[in-house]
A = this chain, B = another copy of it.
């Protein structure tokens, strides 16, 4: 007997992040997550392959890469990167509180912090590949991709700070201006 389960994925994510924050990532079981979300373990595994995938769903990664790939051919690399950062920002702005909870979980767990570094490196590689796919010369593609990730991370850290009210897009534009000022010396 399957009941209709509105927003099961969102409820599971919320329950998981709360439990990771309260008891620690390692100490939390999928059974506990399902119980708090009032769903079954089987439903959990329909949405996530494991506990860690709740933290690293890859959604922002996919939005960044697909936006570069789909950007108009007339856009320069930095224009395409900017579009991608703004598109990711639109996703993030809808879940600011949950992202703050998520980031506290990562900060408290060294293997998750390590995983986060690896994810950022993978994002930079995929952005560079997407730019090369637009015909951008490899060194420039890589520099634009690395600059994009640096801007993302800097804007992100400002955006999740408890007293920051500006949305992600505003912080991206401000951070891009800072980067341009730094590079021009």
Interface residues of A (CB under 8 A from B): 76-79, 114, 117-118, 121, 139-140, 142-144, 146-147, 149-151, 153-154, 158, 175, 178-185
Contacts and interface: CB of A to CB of B under 8 A. Distances in A.
Contacts of A121: 117
A153 B147 CA distance: 12
Most chain B CB neighbours (cut-off 10 Å) among A118, A158, A175, A179: A179
A161 to B, nearest CB: 11
B154 A143 contact: yes
A30 B142 CA distance: 37
Nearest to A150: B146
Number of identical protomers:
2
| In the complex, the 9 A-B pairs of residues with the closest C-beta atoms, listed nearest first | A146-B150, A78-B185, A144-B182, A143-B179, A76-B185, A183-B183, A117-B121, A143-B182, A140-B182
A118 B121 CA distance: 10
Contact of A185 (B79, B142, B150, B185): B79
B183 A180 contact: yes
A139 B114 contact: no
Given A78-B185, A183-B180, A139 B154 contact: yes
Contacts of A158: 139
17 contacts: A78-B184, A117-B117, A117-B121, A139-B175, A139-B178, A140-B181, A140-B182, A142-B150, A143-B150, A143-B154, A143-B175, A143-B179, A143-B182, A146-B146, A146-B153, A146-B154, A147-B182
B150 A147 contact: yes
Most chain B CB neighbours (cut-off 10 Å) among A139, A144, A149: A139
A143 B77 contact: no
